[in-house]
């Protein structure tokens, strides 16, 4: 049943995908392929927004199955654990979502994005591909992308991917404290985990002035652990 429900959710995504793209901004910091990607994400998010007003962004991770709306419930942080991001219907595989401790701007110092593991290869299950060092170090897997309803095109460089404990990160760290945030940055740059991959040749030095997105999912048969893919915002361009 879980596999079927997950596949049905992916079918919903496929059925709303639009093929048209808007005119490329010639002065964009992004490549032509990236501009086309963001235009596609914009079309898909606009379509989903017609059936779910709480879908506020779209996330795409190259060569994974992660190509989904990001939602945030205005009433219940756990709603999207078991509800569709497309139409809010009940579905075992849930949706990709953030909690109310984060804004929907991706301007927070750290934004936690959650998704289920283990429902076929849907939601965040395929983030586990980053456990493979060859996959992690491939140049085509260096970045992931988020498009927001406000028109922001965000590009994140993957800093690290690693096994972590199941603490609620946003409740466990006071990221408004510069020292604590700096320590968190150092932790994700050099995690104390046997299951980790780390990128050392980053486009920029990560500082307390940066924004971090953490993609979090479960690990099969390890209830007290999570798998995190951590990225730093390296490009932020608003559409016309």
C-beta neighbour count of 225 within 10 angstroms = 16
Written as six digits, the tokens of 238 are 């608003």
The closest alpha carbon to 229, from 147, 112, 138, belongs to 112
Among 225, 127, 232, 109, residue whose Cα is nearest residue 178: 109
% of the chain beyond a pLDDT of 90? 81
Is it the case that residue 66 has pLDDT exceeding 80? Answer: yes
What is the C-alpha separation between 190 and 195, in angstroms, rounded? Answer: 12
How does pLDDT run across 41-52, given as a tens digit for each residue?
Answer: 999 999 999 999
Residue 121 has pLDDT above 70, yes or no: yes
Per-residue confidence at 1, pLDDT binned at 50, 70, 90? very low
Model confidence over 126-154: pLDDT tens digits?
999 999 999 999 999 999 999 999 999 99
Which H helix or E strand runs over 9? helix 2-16
SS3 state of residue 230: strand
Rounded Cα–Cα distance for residues 199 and 20 (Å): 35
Q: Kindly report the pTM of this predicted structure.
A: 0.89
**Which pair of tokens denotes residue 6?**
């997950």
Mean pLDDT throughout 156-184?
96
- Residue-wise pLDDT tens digits, 182-238: 999 999 999 999 899 999 999 999 999 999 999 999 988 888 899 999 999 999 998
Structure tokens at 137: 């170090």
Across 136-221, the runs of DSSP E, i.e. the strands, are 143-148, 152-165, 196-198, 212-219
- Measured between alpha carbons, how far is 61 from 66 in angstroms, rounded to an integer? 5
Assign 2 a pLDDT band (cuts: 50, 70, 90): very low
Angstrom distance (rounded) from CA 175 to CA 192: 20
Quick: pLDDT tens for 81-103.
999 999 999 999 999 999 999 99
pLDDT, position 213: 98
């Amino acid at each position: 049943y879980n596999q079927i429900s997950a596949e049905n959710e992916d079918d919903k995504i496929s059925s709303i995908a639009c093929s048209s793209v808007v005119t490329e901004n010639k002065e964009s910091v992004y490549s032509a392929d990236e501009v086309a990607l963001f235009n596609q994400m914009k079309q898909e998010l606009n379509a989903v927004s017609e059936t779910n007003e709480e879908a506020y962004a779209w996330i795409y991770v190259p060569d994974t199955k992660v190509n989904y709306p990001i939602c945030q419930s205005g009433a219940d942080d756990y709603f999207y654990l078991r509800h569709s991001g497309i139409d809010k219907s009940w579905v075992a595989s849930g949706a990709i979502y953030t909690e109310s401790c984060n804004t929907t701007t991706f301007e927070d110092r750290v934004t936690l994005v959650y998704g289920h593991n283990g429902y076929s290869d849907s939601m965040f299950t395929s983030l586990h591909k980053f456990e493979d060092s060859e996959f992690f170090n491939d140049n085509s897997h260096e970045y992931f992308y988020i498009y927001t309803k406000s028109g922001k095109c965000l590009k994140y460089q993957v800093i690290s991917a690693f096994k972590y404990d199941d603490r609620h990160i946003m409740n466990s760290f006071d990221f408004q404290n510069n020292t604590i945030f700096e320590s968190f940055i150092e932790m994700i740059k050099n995690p104390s985990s046997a299951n980790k991959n780390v990128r050392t040749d980053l486009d920029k030095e990560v500082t307390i002035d940066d924004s971090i997105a953490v993609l979090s999912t479960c690990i099969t048969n390890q209830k007290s652990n999570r798998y995190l893919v951590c990225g730093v915002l390296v490009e932020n361009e608003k559409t016309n």
